[in-house]
Amino acid sequence: MNRIHRLLLPLLLILLALPLLLAAPFAAPADMQGVTPGVTPGQFTPTVFVPTPTFAVPVYVITPATGCAAPLSLTIGMNIVVRGGINIRYEPSMSAALLNYFPQPTVVTVIDGPRCANGYNWWRISGYGQPGWVIEGRPGRYFIEPFGLPTVTPTPSLTPSGCVYPLSFQLGSHGAVRYRDNVPRRLRTEPNTNAPVIVELLDGIAFEIIGGPVCAETYNWWQVRILTTGITGWIAEGRPGRYFVEVISH
């Protein structure tokens, strides 16, 4: 029995040591244990994801500063000429109350402005009636101009067709017949002094603009509808210094 024990003891030791002997050639070196194969220790840099911030870029809509053309080079205290047939208003607005009406060119003084409204430059003037605001007009069709300067022409500006620039009527504007020579004005079938006369219009008769202007025989003609009767026809507006009609409202 003792002999058998002596034989089994070495065999048992061999069986216990065999797994350790077989695994030793494949064990990683001590300095590489715990390190991912293929990555050199000390050179690994972890990637940190930093999200790029996004910003809402505002969209700016560029609009004209005023909507008006550059104003005339006028100064406070300067005298100007207002063309005939122009309304003077309480405020610089097409819808403001009417204060005055200049049927012929009038010299006045600038006391304020310019103000931009309704796409026009406006100037406040005084010197004839109650002070108020007058529309400047636009390039190519100004209603006012400096007075007494060498650049001012003594005669009214003419359109390419040979007429002065028409009064500031628009389609739908209201006007009235105005004269001081006791001669009624004639409503005609066509914009021509030889056209048949429809009716003679007395001073103060109101009308609505439904067409025009048409330049013929050096006159500006407007197609109108008489508000009291509904009759339609053409009437000449006259000329600076002798207008036959006036603007009541735009």
Which single residue is written with the structure tokens 């940190």?
A: 48
Type of residue at 43: Q
Q: DSSP readout, 88-103? A: EESSSSTTSPEEEEES
Low-confidence ranges of the chain (pLDDT < 70): 1-66, 148-157, 159, 250
For residue 164, give both structure tokens.
């002065």
| Class of residue 198 by CB neighbours under 10 A (exposed 0-12, middle 13-18, buried 19+) | middle
Q: How far apart are CA 135 and CA 173, in angstroms?
A: 16
* Beta-sheet strands, E only, within 76-195: 79-82, 86-89, 98-102, 106-117, 120-126, 132-135, 137-138, 141-142, 144-146, 174-177, 185-188
Rg (CA), the chain: 48
Give the per-residue pLDDT at 17: 61
SS3 label, residue 145: strand
Model's pTM, two decimal places? Answer: 0.42
Tell me which CATH code domain 75-154 carries: 2.30.30
For residue 194, give both structure tokens.
């030889």
Give the per-residue pLDDT at 246: 87
Give 203-214 pLDDT, tens digit per residue.
Answer: 899 999 999 999
Give 106-141 pLDDT, tens digit per residue.
Answer: 889 999 999 998 888 999 999 877 899 999 988 778
Return the CATH superfamily for domain 161-250: SH3 Domains (2.30.30.40)
Which single residue is written with the structure tokens 């067409």?
A: 211
Give the per-residue pLDDT at 156: 57
> How are beta strands 106-117 and 79-82 bridged, if at all?
antiparallel
Which single residue is written with the structure tokens 């610089």?
A: 92
Give the per-residue pLDDT at 153: 43
CATH 2.30.30.40 domain range(s) in the chain = 161-250
For residue 110, give both structure tokens.
């600038």
80 backbone φψ class: left, alpha, beta (φ>0; ψ -120 to 50): beta
CB 118 within 8 A of CB 96: no
Neighbours of 214 (CB within 10 A): 18
Q: Residue 20 contacts by C-beta under 8 Å, 6 or more apart in sequence?
A: none
Which single residue is written with the structure tokens 């609505």?
A: 208
Give the per-residue pLDDT at 39: 45
Q: Residue 187 contacts by C-beta under 8 Å, 6 or more apart in sequence?
A: 197, 198, 199, 200, 201, 224, 226, 231, 233, 234, 235
